[in-house]
Structure 1
């Protein structure tokens, strides 16, 4: 008889375990930095408003979805079915693409509008750009670690 060696099925963390595992430890920084992007963009008035609508959509969408993802993982709701590791990777990869596009748009608008803005508003916009790219980096790291976990699953 041939013995088969199957990989042991890794389980996704739940409860306080999400505060100790590599990809899941990024939930809180993603929420904090994403919330700062949302607040900083909402606190200024930049023209044209249409590209900033995309930035606000991205920051609000990712904030709400990350919060829901955190709650699902913390409560153990992901234990009921398979595919959560895949969904985790797909969501964070999508968030990277969204935040990267939003950060580039925000940086471009801030660069264009620097001559016509007051210095205080310009500083707030620069802070929003920095936090948008920092949030992009956090989501990127989370996506890479989720991909590794998904591959090992």
Structure 2
């Protein structure tokens, strides 16, 4: 139990981000967020306002997660508790963003169910991946909060 607490209390760097509890979620977050981005971009963005928000969230979270992963891999954090708190705050914000984007995308998809079936299937896939990304960011935020409290 003490080894788990010690591992949760330290900030990894290098390849350590591929083996520690909250940081192992970086790659799945990138994959699912990228899939949302690709699937929404591959269809006609109509109506532009809610789907524009979905595109903003998916692109913003993809870029920020990639940069955040690079910062941790390079070791810019110097094991500071400030970085642990920032990790929690970022992933909590990403949860709120993806949850709002997923709900908007689900509503727009429900409205377009009488349209072209192939586009409808792509939109349903985007909804599923948006909520999967929300779940991954939520788990990462919870584990980051635990790590921050043990820091």
Pairs aligned (count): 146
Once the two structures are TM-superposed, the CA of residue 50 in structure 1 deviates from its matched residue by 1.0
1:115-149, CA deviations, whole angstroms, 9 ceiling, x for partnerless residues?
Answer: 1x210000000000000000000000000000000
Helix, strand or coil: the match of 2:12?
A: coil
Distance 2:95 2:33 in 1: 12
Distance 2:25 2:79 in 1: 23
1:56-112, CA deviations, whole angstroms, 9 ceiling, x for partnerless residues?
Answer: 000000000000000000000111754000000000000000000000000000001
Distance 1:122 1:132 in 2: 15
Helix, strand or coil: the match of 1:32?
A: helix
Once the two structures are TM-superposed, the CA of residue 47 in structure 1 deviates from its matched residue by 2.2
Tell me the residue number matched to 1:17: 16
Tell me the residue number matched to 1:53: 52
Tell me the residue number matched to 1:4: none
Q: Deviation above 6 Å: which 4+ runs of structure 1?
A: none
For the pair shown, which has the larger CA radius of gyration, 1 or 2? 1
Query: Taking structure 1 as the reference length, what is the TM-score of the superposition?
Result: 0.91
Helix, strand or coil: the match of 2:20?
A: coil
Distance 1:82 1:140 in 2: 20
Q: Is the 8 A contact 2:17 2:73 kept in 1?
A: yes
Matches within 5 A, 1:89-128: 89-115=88-114, 117-128=115-126
1:15-51, CA deviations, whole angstroms, 9 ceiling, x for partnerless residues?
Answer: 0100110000000000000000000000001421111
Tell me the residue number matched to 2:39: 40
Helix, strand or coil: the match of 1:79?
A: coil
Tell me the residue number matched to 1:31: 30
Q: Is the 8 A contact 2:37 2:55 kept in 1?
A: yes
Query: Taking structure 2 as the reference length, what is the TM-score of the superposition?
Result: 0.92
Distance 2:107 2:47 in 1: 11
Is 2:127 aligned against 1:129? yes
Tell me the residue number matched to 2:68: 69
